[in-house]
Amino acid sequence: MPIRPRPTCPWPTRVLISALFVSAASAQTWTPFATVVPAELSAWDLARDRLLVVGTDTAQRIHEWDGSQFRERPGELAPQRTLAQMVYDPTQRRVLAVSTDSWVGSWSRGQWTWAKSGAAPANNAVRAIAYDQARQRLVAIGTPGMWEWDGTRWWDLSSFGNGWVASTAFAFDPISQRCILYAQGATRSWDGFAWTQLTGATAANRADAGLALDASRQQLVLYGGSPTNTDTWTWNGTAWSQIPTTSDPGPVTDGQMHDDGVGVTMFVPATGRIWQLRGSAWTLARSAPRLPSYRTNTAFAYDQVRDVLVGFGGDNGGLNVPPDQTMLFDRGWLDCDPATNPPLRHSAHLAWSDLNQQVLLFGGVYQGTIHRGDTWLWDGTDWQQQQPSQSPSPRQGAVMARDPLGGVMLFGGADNTTTFGDQWRWNGTTWTPVTPATMPAARTRTMHAYDPTRGQVVVQGGLNSSLQPIAETWTWDGAAWTLQAVTVQPAQMRTAAFRPETNRVVVADTNTAYEWNGSDWLSSSGLGTGVGQPQQARYATHFGMQRTLNFSVPTVRRLQAIAAQVDAYGSPCSIGPTPALAPIATPAFDTDFALEVASASGAAPTFLVLGLAAQNVDLGNGCRALIALDLGVLFAPANTGGIARFALPIPNDPGLLGVQFTAQGAVLDPAASPLGSFVLTAGRRMFVGE
């Protein structure tokens, strides 16, 4: 099976693989994939040219979008701080946030600092914030109430009154040097002393609109709101003007709009979509994947050409079939909206056809009684129905897998009245009957998987025509069936797949699993699906990831023996603002891991020292060298904001499991260095995991 090549850097694959490490053999557990970025709040970080988003789950995870993908910034937000509002301060190049308990956070150079004093708002009172660049104050309005944060303490300004704060759009206008509030068709400005009702052309009355500066035209831009407004307006400091635009985002409420330096970026938490306004055109920059609805009895097969798992069908447990039948998964759910869809069904059969270089679909059942007998191929974007000259009869519960001699093999299954014992082969254009000298007896609901290591289809168990369990294991090599004499016979397993981790076929139920070593079944402790409803869980093999995944749609789990970790240690060394070393993502297999050095030194030469161990050696004046067993030194130029990023992609190599490596950043800044040359970050200790 092909494995998608991963980017490499000069050292991880050559040095870490040969490094001394501790390979932990701790118990494996099924760990859910983070298939959706949990994001409710956002701010555009102009210093780093990225959209920062924060979720509202218990982990308060921070992600950033770099224009193409989201990646997590682990461990940067204290779990006791739940954010309510975020805004960017371009004067000090930082993100400001207000928590639900009215602490004010400042995020700069990858570090949060928190403060709270003065006449703070009540918990959960703040509804909108803007940063007044002219007075360098954070302005917050609530329901009701008004406050300002001067960098040290809160000031209660509620006596100025604001009975129109619900569902407002609020932003700072650099032209008039005032904060602009738009609500209920009226526009008001705040100059630090009083609210002023403004006259001029008025945008249509709406609530929950988005408002932000458009740097390219030096005007505020307002979009959307409820009811279903899809028009775009600009504010020039004295009046509103509607502008004609193309490719509008459509109805959007609570769109979070940001100045991104060249235009406007709008993040829509409800859909996860990101839109950007450039001139007079809105462009969809990121379409969040649609999470499939809950279902059982879904079939999966790996698409070797496109390196994704293709899923089809399913029911909600009551024979009702969701309309979104086609699913794609590759380290997360992908957008999938084919123009042509096979008829609705559950318990379909999917398998890779190497003769077509596509995934083949056959059979299944609809509403429990209507059996399907149609054949389809998935070309990566759409389904194409095939017109074979002959075909197996409609059925579900069959063995269908890649045939060792090419094409796809199908055996057995059942309809409403018959349990089948016939065998067929898909030759790329049609189905042909296969009549080997020896065959298993008729059966249905048989656990099976293609074993590419041994070049055979492994078939275990099933039910006979009386729906009684069959205690047998057979293998098919493309020409003949072999009944295997085993010492252990798994009973009534619920799912099966090939495990690249061990090069064996695995069968499992909720609590039990067995692996096929080519001649017998071996018990695999702790490998059961872990799902209380066995019919819901389905194993599927992602050969690009070299992992067996556990699907109980929409949840996807993977086995994890050691979790990837990043720990900080030691202290930074600098006169004045300290530089920071931050991880981007976690150092897990097959991950675009990176480390970022951020300093107040601007575009200064920046270095990253890598090692295999930690130390704490005094360099003088409070500075310490934190890296031992050096691997080398990497260099990357920092941008004008003092940000330098070092890409360290982690290969998909199980030999790296448990490897420790360490890092410390150094920035050439003699004026701020106690050493007369470099300022140093604290250290980071990384453990490669799954």
3-state helix, strand, coil in the chain (%, to 5): 0, 45, 50
Bond preceding residue 32 cis, omega within 30 of 0: no
Q: Reduced to 3 states, what is the DSSP secondary structure of residue 654?
A: helix
Of the three residues 542, 560, 578, the one that is the final residue of a domain is 560
Sign of the dihedral defined by the CA atoms of residues 558, 310, 524, 526, in that order? positive
Task: Identify the pLDDT of residue 1.
Answer: 35
Q: Are residues 394 and 523 in the same domain?
A: yes
Task: Identify the pLDDT of residue 202.
Answer: 67
Of the three residues 526, 560, 594, the one that is the final residue of a domain is 560
Task: Identify the pLDDT of residue 247.
Answer: 87
d(C-alpha 498, C-alpha 122), whole Å: 56
Residue 547 vs residues 331, 436, 560, 587, 690: alpha-carbon distances, Å: 11, 33, 10, 17, 10
Of the three residues 259, 286, 313, the one that is the final residue of a domain is 286
* Residue-wise pLDDT tens digits, 128-162: 999 999 999 999 998 778 999 999 999 999 888 76
> If DSSP states are collapsed to H, E and C, what string results for 46-78?
CCCCEEEEECCCCCCCEEEECCCCEEECCCCCC
- Does residue 1 fall inside a structural domain? no
Could you tell me where the DSSP H helices lie in 60-210? none
Q: Are residues 400 and 542 in the same domain?
A: yes
Task: Identify the pLDDT of residue 652.
Answer: 79
The amino acid present at 248, given as its one-letter code, is D
- Does residue 253 fall inside a structural domain? yes
Q: For all residues of the chain together, what is the average pLDDT?
A: 89
* Residue-wise pLDDT tens digits, 275-306: 999 999 999 999 887 788 888 899 999 999 99
- Residues 598-618 have a mean pLDDT of 93
pTM of the model: 0.80
Number of domains in the chain: 4
Closest CA to 85 of 149, 16, 150, 21: 149
* Residue-wise pLDDT tens digits, 214-232: 988 999 999 988 887 889 9
**pLDDT above 60 for 6:** no
Residue that wins the pLDDT comparison between 16 and 611: 611
CA 306, 311, 317: angle at the middle one, nearest 5?
A: 170
CATH of the domain at 195: 2.120.10.80
Question: DSSP labels for 6-35?
Answer: ----SSIIIIITTS------PPPEEEE---
- Residues 608-636 have a mean pLDDT of 94
Task: Identify the pLDDT of residue 168.
Answer: 82
The amino acid present at 654, given as its one-letter code, is P
Task: Identify the pLDDT of residue 47.
Answer: 87
Count the residues in the chain.
690
Q: Are residues 590 and 638 in the same domain?
A: yes
Contact by Cβ (8 Å): 277, 285 = no
* Residue-wise pLDDT tens digits, 481-501: 999 999 999 998 999 999 998
Contact by Cβ (8 Å): 419, 396 = no
- Does residue 28 fall inside a structural domain? no
Task: Identify the pLDDT of residue 390.
Answer: 97
Contact by Cβ (8 Å): 105, 99 = yes
Residue 472: count of CB within 10 angstroms of its CB: 17
Q: The tokens of 355 are what?
A: 């003769």
The amino acid present at 111, given as its one-letter code, is Q
Task: Identify the pLDDT of residue 200.
Answer: 66
Q: Are residues 135 and 177 in the same domain?
A: no
Q: Are residues 248 and 322 in the same domain?
A: no
Q: Provide the domain limits for residue 611.
A: 565-687
Task: Identify the pLDDT of residue 437.
Answer: 95
- Does residue 160 fall inside a structural domain? yes
Give 59's pLDDT tier (boundaries 50, 70, 90): low
Residues 6+ apart with CB under 8 A from 555: 32
Q: Are residues 199 and 75 in the same domain?
A: no
* Residue-wise pLDDT tens digits, 301-357: 999 999 999 999 999 877 788 888 999 999 888 888 899 999 999 999 999 999 999
Please compute Rg for the chain using Cα positions. Answer: 30
- Does residue 5 fall inside a structural domain? no
